[in-house]
Amino acid sequence: MPFEPWQPGMIITEERLASISPEWQDWTPVWTTSTGAATPSFSNASVLARYAQAADVVFFRLEIAFGSTTNFGGGGGSDNWRFSLPVAAAGAQLIAGDGEAQDSATGGSPSSVRVPLRARLTGPTTLELEVSGGGTGFTGGYAPTPTGLIDAVTPFTWANGDFIRVTGEYEAS
């Protein structure tokens, strides 16, 4: 049942309560690129994608541990990654959540390089991730990283064992 704002005279029903009570469920994100070329694929990556909808607010959690056969696409720095949303959004949104990218090539946790990310909605069905600051774990502590939307080489060259972790919320259409 889609959400409908409360109006005078409405009766509380099981269906009505269910429409405003979030229940976490899985979704399978589709991984594409901004140009549609050099499309990546999860292959043996571990993907945890969960969402809950309360009224017209969608909460989401996306965690990806890339695997040895993950294909990161070949678009380089000009073909930004996109992930499909579990529920259509009301529109584009510059800030829909935050998270981190983790490069395991630096020796694994806790010495891994971690870079903060900002989740943004570039349309009603797509989520993109943008580098939102310098990373930690570099030699000497904190260091600037490439800026912009993530792709096959931003904020680092992705490989087996790297992670993306993002949480957020947005308005459903």
Count the domains in the chain. 1
Instruction: Write the pLDDT tens digit of every residue in 69-94.
Output: 999 987 666 789 999 999 999 999 99
Instruction: Report, as an integer, the average pLDDT of 38-52.
Output: 95
- At 134 the pLDDT is 66
Q: Is residue 11 part of a domain?
A: no
Is the confidence at residue 160, as pLDDT, over 90?
Answer: yes
Please give the Cα distance from 140 to 138 (Å, whole number): 6
Q: Is residue 130 part of a domain?
A: yes
Q: Is residue 8 part of a domain?
A: no
Is the confidence at residue 49, as pLDDT, over 90?
Answer: yes
Residues 6+ apart with CB under 8 A from 134: 115, 142, 143, 144, 145
Please give the Cα distance from 103 to 112 (Å, whole number): 6
Exposure letters 76-99 (e unless 16+ CB within 10 A, then b):
eeebbbbbebbbebeeebeebbbb
- At 65 the pLDDT is 96
Q: Is residue 12 part of a domain?
A: no
Could you identify the residue written with the tokens 């690129």?
Answer: 33
Q: Is 83 helix (H, G, I), strand (E, B) or coil?
A: strand
Closest residue by Cα to residue 50 from 172, 160, 131, 165: 165
Closest residue by Cα to residue 137 from 152, 150, 156: 156
Q: Is residue 145 part of a domain?
A: yes
Q: Which one-letter amino acid corresponds to residue 94? A: L
> pTM for this structure?
0.84
Q: Is residue 141 part of a domain?
A: yes
Is the confidence at residue 13, as pLDDT, over 80?
Answer: yes
Q: Is residue 144 part of a domain?
A: yes
With cut-offs at 50, 70 and 90, classify the pLDDT of residue 136: low
DSSP letter, residue 66: -
Instruction: Report, as an integer, the average pLDDT of 148-167.
Output: 91
Is the confidence at residue 139, as pLDDT, over 80?
Answer: no
Instruction: Report, as an integer, the average pLDDT of 135-146.
Output: 54
Instruction: Report, as an integer, the average pLDDT of 114-140.
Output: 83
Q: Is residue 72 part of a domain?
A: yes
Percent of the chain with pLDDT over 90: 57
With cut-offs at 50, 70 and 90, classify the pLDDT of residue 137: low
Domain containing 121: what range? 24-171
